[in-house]
Amino acid sequence: MPTDGLPQELDRGLLEVAALQARQQREKAEQHRLLRAANLQPTRPDEETLKQLDSSVKRNTGFIKKLRQLSEENFKPLLDELAKLNQTRYVAEVVSAIADAPLRGRDIDGAIQICSLLHQRYSDFGEHLVAALTKSITGRDEAKDALQYKRTRLKILADLLVTGIYRDYSILIDTLRHVAAVNFKADWAGSQSSMLLLSSFARHVSDELLGITSKGLRPFLADAQPVSLQAKQPDDSLAQLVADSKALSTELHHHPPVPHAVQQQLIKILLDAYASASAAFEGYKQTLIRREETYLRIINSRGDLSEHHVTTQEAERSTAEAMQKNIASLADALGKPVPILPPAVIQQTATASSVDILTGKEEDAALSGPFEDEESRLFYESLPDLRAVVPGVLLGNQNVSESKPDEDTSTEMADTEESPSPHASQEDAPDDVLEPQPSAADMEESGEAEPEPEANTPAERQAGQRMLELIKRLSQTRSAKACDDWCLAFCDINSKASRNRLVRELTDVSPMKMALLPFYARITATLSQIFTSIRDGVQAGLERSFRYYKARKDSDLRNVERRAVNARYLSELVKFRSMPFGSFFVLLKSLLDDFAQSNVETAATLVEAAGRFLYSLPETRVRMSNMLEVMQRLKIAKNLNIRQAMLVENAYYICRPPDRPTIEKRERTPLQQYMRHLVHDQLTQDDTKQILRKLRRLPWAENEPYLIRCLLSASTGRYSLAPVLASLTAGLSRYHPSLRTGVIDSLLEEVRSGMEEPHLGTYQRRMGHIVLLGEMYNYKLVDSRIIFDTLHLFLWYGNDNAEEAAVLDPPSDFFRTRLVCGLLRTCGMFFSRGSAASRLDRFLIFFQRYLLSKAPAPLEVTFEVQDLFTLLRPEMQRLLTLEEACVAAAALEAQLEGGLEAIEEVPSDEEDGETGSESGHSGRGNGLSQQAGSQSGGADLMRHELDDDTVRLLHPVNAGEVEVDDEFEREFASLVLSTGPAIQPSALQDEPEETERRMPAPAVAFRMLTKKAGRDDRSRAVQVPANAAIVQTLRARASAEADERAQIKRLTLAADQRAQLENGIKPSGPQLTRIQQPVVQPEQSDQLNDLMRPSRQRASLNTSLGFVFYSIILKPNITWQVGRVDEGGPFMSHGLADDRLDRLLQLNQADVRPLPAP
């Protein structure tokens, strides 16, 4: 017996049990030898001696009554009383009392001692007793306990021969032949009792009459030498076991109870019976398999079996199992191989004919398999082989058959008969495999379940303590390896009591442990390889619970949860093939027969958990398909609520997914894959410059649209990448200005489309776009007007009427609130000064009104809004009610409507503050975005040029306020000179206009290039008469274009104001009906002309933002803006940054800023 990996205390406990059994057998053999010697040569008392004993009727009648109640407890008092009585006239009554006594296995030894004393006194007692016992064994008795009665009498008859009460060997041989003389093939039901009598007889006399070592000692005696060699210390139990076994062999060899020829005759009778029963079993097994295959074909073609076929199949399978159990019992006693009964074919494999029925189901063949992935398949199918890793002694030589966990009291009687001591192994005793047993359900309902035996020895108490520890570890088995280790640990303490305890623990699972059901089912399946009682017990318990909950159609939450646990547990057993498929379909069909209330949920749970598995197996596909069709028709026919209908539909489509085209992989060119790889995989904060250089090398014209898509898609779900994307966009815009416009246009379009179709699946993408838009502002790609327009869009879009609001912005939907918080959290901290700060304050009032008009916000939204106010306006007073918010918003709207001029006359200090605020955040990024910012200039996305020749100011300049001093002029002249070397002069832009100013009126100067512009630009002036056709044509075209632009500007401004008024938004810029020429005082104009000496004056109109600004060309390629900063969106200051520019701001509070030349 190998001991590697086994606890030393466990080996010692098993050895103690085996040693105790060997000692008891040796003592029994010695006792029988002494009785045999006394009985073969009895010294009977003479008549004089008998006369001295009590022969009264009263005393003898009382003794005979006591003798009828003979048992292990009262046989010693009966022996003392018998020694005082004279039974000469009552021998017949004594024989009848002993023959009719309800003896059990443990009472036989006491009965043999009484019989020996009677035989030694009365010569005719033995003959009469043997005749009575033989008659009772060979006769027919239809009583309920006849089998138990005959089994005990046959054992007594054998012990009477061993103890020498009779020496006619032919009596026992003939009696045994009579018991074995049955036709196993023709009358198996009648031969069951004979098989049980033979197996019980063989186990009882295996040592003394048959010379066969008991089953419980074979493993120890076979492996005794390896154990002794491996043991670290001498083992007293092992030594005692070996010594007692040798003593027993010596005892039987020197004092055999019967001659060797008689022993061989008895063995031959038993072997012939075993061979006949095995042959009959093999024939019956083949017939059963063929019949089950027929039943399988009926199931696959019709969907189910008739009630008659079901009853017949169950009866035939039960008969085969009973045959196998009884033959296995006799085979164990004789040391022969045990016949194997394969699992029911109706639940295991399909025959070729049944597969032919399934052909033509092309859509089913598309299924990948019963499991979703390889990991799931290994979990359900790759189970450890316990027989290969656990020594056989720990398994108790378990076979495919095993006594059920719940057995009646006759099992205890059989155990006692085989093991004289309660220390004997539980696996050595089953004599009752064919006796009628009550079902586990009947025992549970009647309250007659077998109580757990008490632990009487230290080894049993220690095993019980270890079982409790294993039960505590059961809830920690959350992996396949943990389940396998638990099963190996259980095999170390295997016993009948521990198996029963495990069945109860595995059956009664709390709803809180639903996630452990697959692991419990794996433990059940693994142990069921050897201990089939565990599988049967768990399945029986779950089926009882299933019927119980099915009968109780209440809506109690506790029962609903336990019903779901029961259904999922059964499904897990099916996937481990621990539960017959037929039983699963029977349970499912019972639910479909009463498809209402809680049965709908239970059926959906069964199909959802195990339906795909059964639908993927060839042998169950047709039946599962039929069940699914029936369930779908019932869903349509029954008036199910929405929840139940959804459960049924989900379960159906898990098994049979709807037919839909396979998602085709998008084909991308290698260049597109490279661009996607750079943006999605390699772009990080540290690698932005490298990615920029690589993208610049690509062909730009054809790849720019795809790059825009990559930039937008990269922001989805990757909010931390938004700053890097904005920095990359700013850097690329320096070289490709169209990218900036394309990215912003696409981004704003995505934001608006998300408002129009607010699907739940687009929330993550929409949030990513909003964060990217905020980062675009931080990197000066958009201005604050676009940010505030987007914020206001979140508040009013779709809220014009109740119908649109219910779809686009339901009261309980707060995703727009999350978008507002996300955008302001990204860039709102820069709106702390200037006009942007006031606009943010006004927006927060409208935002609070919007938030209070919706349903109560969830806690996470409330906390997010609180964090936003803490970040942006920690001292701002929050509006608590909708009434307060409406009053504040109404007051703000009234102020906006009546104070347009005041809004236009924003003090210059606020403008400067905002400029500083916005320019202050330009440091974000790695320097890449700042280069892009200087290239792109201000925040305007579109500029339209005006060919006006007059300097235009947003507000009139008072002559008295302008004071030009010499110091200012010197500083300005120094500023202009300092910027001169950095800019290359352009002949095409500057000289023609100066030449035109110096030429006489009748001629117009044109400059003709004789060499491409560069360092040594070669061009010369050409004088064209003013009345020439080319001059007239150019002047007419310029005039027409100027008129057209002026008309377009007026229409655009009017349309923009009208759209804002219709949408309920107060126009943020000046309301102009035409392009006005502000009045400029002559002295102011002279000051400006003398100060700046412009060579060309140019005005442009920003039609998208709704206000007018003016630009003046000071030097080639340098544009200076002179004008009031509008409150809605100030221009960025880029390029030249000199403190001397501040002196220019003193000119009528004007703002002078450099912009790139148009």
Q: Is 570 within 8 Å of 584 (Cβ atoms)?
A: yes
Q: Place 447 in a pLDDT band, splitting at 50, 70 and 90.
A: very low
> For residues 103 and 413, is the Cβ–Cβ distance under 8 A?
no
Closest to 413 in 3D by CA, of 69, 142, 107, 20: 107
| Of 214, 212, 114, the residue nearest 156 (C-alpha) | 114
Q: What percent of the chain has pLDDT over 90?
A: 16
The residue-averaged pLDDT of 317-335 equals 82
Q: How many CA atoms lie within 13 A of 722 on its CB side?
A: 26
Q: Which residues pair with 1115 in a beta bridge?
A: 1118
Q: What is the CB-side half-sphere exposure of residue 57 using CA atoms within 13 A? A: 0
Distance between CA atoms of residues 214 and 304, nearest Å: 48
Examine residue 1098 and state whether it is found in any structural domain, yes or no: yes
- pLDDT at residue 1112 greater than cutoff 70: no
Handedness of CA 748, 749, 754, 756 (dihedral sign): positive
Which of 1092, 1015, 1089, 1106 lies closest to 1055 in space, CA to CA?
A: 1106
1129 and 957 in contact (C-beta within 8 Å)?
no
Give the pLDDT of residue 899: 53
pLDDT surpasses 90 at 787: yes
pLDDT attached to residue 775? 92
Residues 6+ apart with CB under 8 A from 84: 53, 54
Q: Which of 26, 519, 489 is nearest to 255 (CA)?
A: 26
Please calculate the CA angle 193-196-202 and round it to the nearest 5 degrees. Answer: 140
Q: Which two tokens stand for residue 1132?
A: 């960025």
Rg (CA), the chain: 52
- pLDDT for res 1012: 53
pLDDT > 50? residue 957: no
Q: Are 589 and 606 in contact (CB under 8 A)?
A: no
User: Does residue 577 come out as left (phi exceeding 0), alpha (psi in the -120 to 50 range) or beta?
Assistant: left
Report if residue 84 sits inside a domain: yes
Q: Which two tokens stand for residue 505?
A: 């623990």
Q: Under 8 Å CB-to-CB from 1135, ≥6 apart: which residues? A: 934, 937, 1154, 1155, 1156
Task: Say if residues 524 and 506 touch (Cβ distance below 8 Å).
Answer: yes
The structure tokens listed for 991 are: 């000289």
Give the pLDDT score at 540. 92
Residues 1116 and 1136 in one domain: yes
Identify which of 285, 371, 301 has the alpha carbon closest to the alpha carbon of residue 619.
301
- Give me the amino acid identity at 1144: L
Name the residue type at position 800. D
175 shares its domain with 114: yes
Kind and range of the H or E run holding 406: none
Q: Is 754's pLDDT higher than 70?
A: yes
Q: What is the pLDDT of residue 732?
A: 92
Do 58 and 92 meet the contact criterion of CB atoms below 8 Å apart?
no
Sign of torsion over alpha carbons 600, 604, 610, 616 = positive
Residues with Cβ < 8 Å from 664, sequence gap 6 or more?
A: none
What's the pTM? 0.38
Give the Cα separation of 436 and 452 in Å (integer): 21
Structure tokens at 28: 């029994």
pLDDT at 605: 93
The per-residue pLDDT for range 595-629, each reduced to its tens digit, is 888 889 999 999 999 999 999 998 888 889 889 99
For residues 1012 and 952, state if they share a domain. no
Domain boundary among 782, 797, 821: 782
Q: Report if residue 955 sits inside a domain.
A: yes
**Mean pLDDT of all residues belonging to the chain:** 72
Please identify, among 1030, 1059, 1094, the residue that sits at the C-terminal boundary of a domain: 1030
Residue 927 neighbours by CB distance under 10 Å:
12
**Cα torsion at 775, 776, 782, 788 (round to 10°)?**
-40
- Domain span including residue 59: 8-181+215-259
At position 264, the amino acid (one-letter code) is: Q
Q: Is residue 827 part of a domain?
A: no
At 84 the three-state DSSP class reads coil
Degrees, nearest 5: CA angle 162-165-169: 60
At residue 266, the pLDDT reads: 86
- Both 1010 and 1102 in one domain: the answer is no
pLDDT band at residue 1094 using 50, 70 and 90 as cut-offs:
very low
Please calculate the CA angle 820-826-829 and round it to the nearest 5 degrees: 100
- Assigned domain for 440 exists: no
Q: Are residues 1129 and 1017 in the same domain?
A: no
Closest CA to 610 of 576, 563, 565: 576
Q: Return the closest-CA partner of residue 895 out of 1056, 1060, 1064, 1066.
A: 1066
Domain-terminating residue out of 231, 259, 287 = 259
3-state secondary structure of 1005: strand
Q: 1022 with 1090, same domain? A: no
**Spatial separation of the C-alpha atoms in residues 214 and 287, rounded to whole Å:** 34
Type of residue at 961: E
* Of 960 and 125, more confident: 125
Q: How far apart are CA 990 and CA 977, in angstroms?
A: 17
Higher pLDDT, 563 or 295: 563
- What residues contact 834, with CB distance under 8 A and at least 6 apart? 910, 911, 912, 913, 914, 915, 916, 917, 918, 1130
Alpha helices in 184-306 (DSSP H): 188-204, 218-222, 224-230, 236-254, 260-302
Domain shared by 38 and 122, yes or no: yes
In a domain, 679, yes or no: yes
- Looking at residue 352, its pLDDT comes to 32
Check: CB of residue 933 under 8 Å from CB of residue 1132: yes
Residue 505 counted as domain residue: yes
Q: Residue for token digits 């046959």?
A: 154
Share of residues in the chain with pLDDT > 70 (%): 66
Give residue 1026's pLDDT. Answer: 77
pLDDT for the residue 205:
77
Higher pLDDT, 798 or 587: 587
Give me the pLDDT at residue 894, please.
Answer: 86
| Angstrom distance (rounded) from CA 1053 to CA 1056 | 5
Only one residue has tokens 């039946």, namely 623
3-state secondary structure of 54: strand
Residue 447 lies in a domain: no
pLDDT band at 457 (very low <50, low <70, confident <90, very high): low
For residue 129, give the CATH number of its domain: 1.25.40.180
82 shares a domain with 58: yes
Helical H runs in 494-531?
496-507, 517-527
**Predicted confidence (pLDDT) at residue 1042 exceeds the cutoff of 60:** yes
Residue among 863, 857, 758 nearest 812 (CA): 857
Q: Sort 328 into a burial class: Cβ within 10 Å, 0-12 / 13-18 / 19+.
A: buried
Our count of domains for the chain comes to 5
Q: How far is it, in rounded angstroms, from Cα 154 to Cα 151?
A: 5
Q: How far apart are CA 309 and CA 832, in angstroms?
A: 86
Buried b vs exposed e over 758-780: b needs ≥16 C-beta within 10 Å? Answer: beeebeebbbbbbbbbbbbbbbb
56 and 118 inside one domain: yes
pLDDT tier at 1068 (50, 70, 90 boundaries)? low
Shared-domain flag, residues 86 and 137? yes
* Bridge partners, 1008 (sequence order): 1020
- In this structure, the answer to whether residues 978 and 1073 fall within a common structural domain is yes
Q: Given a cut of 80, is residue 21 above it in pLDDT?
A: no
Task: With H, G, I as helix, E, B as strand and everything else as coil, classify residue 257.
Answer: coil
Residue 530 and residue 489 share a domain: yes
Residue type, 200: S
Task: State how far the Cα of 965 lies from the Cα of 691, in Å rounded to an integer.
Answer: 52
- pLDDT of residue 451 exceeding 60, the answer is no
What is the tens place of the pLDDT at every residue in 209-260? 777 766 555 555 544 444 443 343 445 656 666 676 677 677 666 677 788 8
pLDDT value of residue 523: 94
Copy the structure tokens of residue 1133.
Answer: 């200051």
Question: CB of 727 within 8 A of CB of 928?
Answer: yes
Mean pLDDT over 579-601 rounds to: 89
- Condensed to tens digits (0 to 9), the pLDDT of residues 503-520 reads 999 999 988 989 999 999
